[in-house]
Structure 1
């Protein structure tokens, strides 16, 4: 067997170990999964039904809910960042990561399995939230191809954030510090167009929201699902939201994957 074959087996073995372990962890601790859904679902109910009429300018709140749900779906995918970071950090403190490093595995194997498992969990979370949105009156005005493209975009974003979560969980070794950083991360996600268009915000805040990667994914999803009232206006990234979203995903992956592999293999 060549060196290349050995490396391929090692990548598969390590990815399989982490994939199965993460899914087992969620099955044994369903509260972790519930926490991922609780905040976005609460916000969808709050903004869609309590504030919906006001945010719709006194108009049809149903139209606002159609605008809101794609943003909440992206928020669900984005919140997986903190859950991934917390799980990786817990593995560091339990010694599980050290045991993995003792095995003849490729450095990319364990993080890849971790990211894949978190993405699979994200599929279930996004499916449940989509069902909740449907029950609340959200409908998709798109072709089958556009829906498939929207699903691919959401899963790619969740995949990239899993890698970023691995890097974050290994970089912040103090568990309490990571817990304190979680609200800050959530706050950063909120500086986006999830709930209202960036154009309605003060100039400085609007600039931050427009350059937030979350805003790019949300704008692309709304365009693909037919619920973006302001597409093809403004800057280039606004005129081409889907392309801009994929460029953000590629850039985040190029930054986070090598960092996650290096930190996971060497952090102590």
Structure 2
């Protein structure tokens, strides 16, 4: 067997082992999965039914709930970033990461398996939240190709954030410092169009929100799934071309997070 073949076997074998380990952790600790769903579900119920009438501007609250659900699906995908980072950081402090580095595995094996498992878990969470949205009256008005495109963007976003979470968890050694990033992540999510259109925001806040990667993905899902509201002609480029903007943000996230995560798991890091 050539050196190239050995590296390939190491990559896929190591990734598979880490993939199974992460899924086993979730199976043994279902509370971790429940926490991922709890906050977005609570927000969807709060904004959809408590504030829905007011946010709809006196119109049909069910239309606002249809507008809200794509944003909440992105919220579910994004909320997994913190838990992924905390798990990677716990592995670092427990010595598990060092044991992985000592094995004759490709440096990409561990983070790849980790990211894949987190993406699978995120997919299940998104599916459950979509079911909750359906019960709230959300319906998809799109062609099969548009649905597939929306799903690919959403899962790519979750996968990219998995890699980013791994990179953060392995790079930030101070556990308390890492915990302090959770409010920052939540704040980033709130400076977006998840709950209201950017056109309703003050000029400066709207400009920040329109260039937020979360806003691009939310707008793309609303456009693809038929739940979008027209953006003003003067809105920023990402809001006028949300699918292209979301795709560009995904590529940028992968380009930044993947090399960092692999570097942190390499034997000479």
Same fold by TM-score, threshold 0.5 exceeded? yes
Tell me whether 75-84 or 198-207 shows the greater mean CA deviation: 198-207
CA contact (8 A) 1:37 1:125 kept: yes
CA contact (8 A) 2:191 2:205 kept: yes
Show structure 1 runs of 5+ residues with no match: none
* Partner secondary structure for residue 180 of structure 2: helix
CA RMSD of aligned residues (A): 1.3
User: How many angstroms apart in 1 are the aligned matches of 2:265 and 2:183?
Assistant: 24
CA contact (8 A) 1:74 1:214 kept: yes
Q: 2:82: which partner in 1?
A: 82
* Partner secondary structure for residue 84 of structure 1: helix
Q: 1:183: which partner in 2?
A: 183
User: How many angstroms apart in 1 are the aligned matches of 2:56 and 2:254?
Assistant: 36
Question: CA offsets per residue over residues 30-76 of structure 1, 9 Å max, x none?
Answer: 00000000000000000000000000001100000000000000000
Q: 1:224: which partner in 2?
A: 224
Q: Structure 1 residue 235: deviation in Å?
A: 3.5
Q: Structure 1 residue 196: deviation in Å?
A: 0.4
Q: Structure 1 residue 210: deviation in Å?
A: 0.7
Q: 1:235: which partner in 2?
A: 236
Q: 1:29: which partner in 2?
A: 29
1:259 aligns with 2:260: yes
Q: 1:61: which partner in 2?
A: 61
Q: Structure 1 residue 14: deviation in Å?
A: 1.2
Q: 1:114: which partner in 2?
A: 114
User: How many angstroms apart in 1 are the aligned matches of 2:181 and 2:238?
Assistant: 29
**Change in 2 beyond 3 A, CA 1:179/1:218:** same
Q: Structure 1 residue 17: deviation in Å?
A: 1.2
Q: Structure 1 residue 264: deviation in Å?
A: 2.8
User: How many angstroms apart in 1 are the aligned matches of 2:20 and 2:9?
Assistant: 16
User: How many angstroms apart in 1 are the aligned matches of 2:11 and 2:105?
Assistant: 6
Question: CA offsets per residue over residues 133-178 of structure 1, 9 Å max, x none?
Answer: 0011111111111111111111000000000001110122121221
Q: Structure 1 residue 114: deviation in Å?
A: 0.5
User: How many angstroms apart in 1 are the aligned matches of 2:237 and 2:194?
Assistant: 19
Q: Structure 1 residue 185: deviation in Å?
A: 1.1
Question: CA offsets per residue over residues 184-238 of structure 1, 9 Å max, x none?
Answer: 2111111100000111111111111111100010010000000111158433322
**Change in 2 beyond 3 A, CA 1:201/1:193:** same
Tell me whether 224-233 or 86-95 shows the greater mean CA deviation: 224-233
Q: 1:102: which partner in 2?
A: 102
Q: 1:11: which partner in 2?
A: 11
Superposed, 1:104-143 pairs within 5 Å as 104-143=104-143
Q: 1:50: which partner in 2?
A: 50
**Count of aligned positions:** 268
User: How many angstroms apart in 1 are the aligned matches of 2:223 and 2:110?
Assistant: 35
User: How many angstroms apart in 2 are the aligned matches of 1:44 and 1:78?
Assistant: 15
